[in-house]
Amino acid sequence: MNLGDKVAVPFGKGTKDGVVVRIFDKNVWLKVDFPRHPGKLVRRKQSQLQTSASKSRKKKATSGK
């Protein structure tokens, strides 16, 4: 994960697309566009982003059966 990368962010019941703005040891700051708040900064843990990416890969791999 690098600055400027687009990442799927778990939010509520679904996901939003965000752009990485700052990276710390355990946290990541993302810029996410919401309908009434464009460019909002959201902080998420790196572990949440990595697990959501691995879950989406599993779903894609198993959905082809």
pLDDT, tens digit, 9 for 90 and up, residues 7-45:
998 888 888 899 999 999 999 999 999 889 999 999 999
Per-residue pLDDT at 51 exceeds 90: no
Per DSSP, helices labelled H in 1-65 are: 46-63
pTM beyond 0.85, yes or no = no
Residues 22 and 1: beta-carbon distance below 8 Å: no
Q: In whole angstroms, how far apart are CA 19 and each of 12, 41, 62, 63, 64? A: 18, 10, 28, 27, 29
